[in-house]
């Protein structure tokens, strides 16, 4: 963790105490029933809301239930099925490519390592962290999505703008036992109160310790 002299250490501890109490049941909001479904859903969720992804995936999984099904699919067909999602053409290519690699190299299974996951098309560290945590029960880092990035900056936990550098800062400040849930606490607060455009600072349980609110 950060050094005792680093004011961010105390700030982080207070943020965690308050958010963990306010959102004790916060967890992943994507719908999935298998490791592969989770991987697909997280790929689709890039720059797209989880709510939108959850509307797309039931029919998508019914038509393409396995990596092999995606491997044999025409990317244009997949794109048609996910066209209400952002960047659907790119994501269709990713899903077909992922299906091919999982079928050919992993016997249809989802890799259980960071290196294996980040080698897949369209899969970066954030996606890999989600899959490791929720599909393999392995925590190697902290998931930094747009909510986590925004709140970490507003709360003075980091001055970085690159997600991987933000993750490194948070991993230094947050106890390892909280690496998984801290993402969900921050996301829950980001959705409910500390929104991107119109944060409800007057209703915020962190207002008295938030540098952004005092600016």
Q: Indicate the Cα dihedral angle 114, 117, 121, 125, nearest 10°.
A: -40
pLDDT confidence of 4, banded at 50, 70, 90? low
pLDDT at 77: 98
Residue range 116-134: average pLDDT?
Answer: 98
Residue range 53-78: average pLDDT?
Answer: 98
pLDDT at 215: 58
pLDDT confidence of 212, banded at 50, 70, 90? confident
Question: H helices within 82-178, ranges in order?
Answer: 88-105, 114-118, 125-135, 146-154, 163-173
The model's pTM is 0.92
pLDDT at 6: 83
Residue range 93-110: average pLDDT?
Answer: 98
- The dihedrals phi and psi of 115, each to the nearest 5 degrees, come to -65, -40
pLDDT at 28: 97
List pLDDT tens digits, range 151-206: 999 999 999 999 999 999 999 999 999 999 999 999 999 999 999 999 999 999 99
How far is residue 32 from each of residues 28, 36, 56, 135, 136, measured CA to CA in Å?
10, 8, 12, 10, 14
Q: Supply the residues annotated as catalytic.
A: 126, 145
pLDDT at 29: 96
Q: What is the mean pLDDT of the chain?
A: 96
């Amino acid at each position: 963790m950060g050094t005792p002299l680093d004011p961010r250490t105390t700030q982080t501890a207070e943020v965690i105490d308050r958010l963990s109490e306010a959102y004790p049941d916060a967890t992943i909001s994507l719908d999935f029933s298998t490791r592969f479904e989770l991987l697909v859903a997280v790929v689709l969720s890039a720059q797209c809301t989880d709510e939108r992804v959850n509307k797309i995936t039931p029919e998508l999984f019914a038509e393409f239930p396995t990596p092999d099904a995606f491997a044999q699919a025409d990317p244009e067909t997949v794109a048609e099925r996910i066209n209400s999602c952002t960047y659907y053409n790119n994501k269709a290519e990713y899903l077909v490519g992922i299906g091919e690699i999982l079928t050919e190299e992993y016997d249809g299974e989802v890799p259980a390592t960071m290196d294996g996951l980040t080698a897949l098309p369209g899969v970066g560290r954030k996606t890999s962290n989600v899959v490791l945590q929720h599909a393999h029960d392995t925590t190697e880092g902290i998931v930094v999505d747009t909510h986590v990035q925004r709140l970490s900056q507003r709360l003075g936990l980091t001055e970085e703008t690159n997600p991987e550098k933000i993750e490194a800062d948070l991993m230094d400040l947050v106890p390892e036992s909280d690496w998984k849930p801290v993402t969900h606490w921050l996301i829950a607060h980001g959705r409910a109160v500390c929104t991107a455009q119109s944060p409800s600072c007057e209703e915020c349980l962190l207002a008295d310790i938030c540098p952004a609110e005092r600016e």
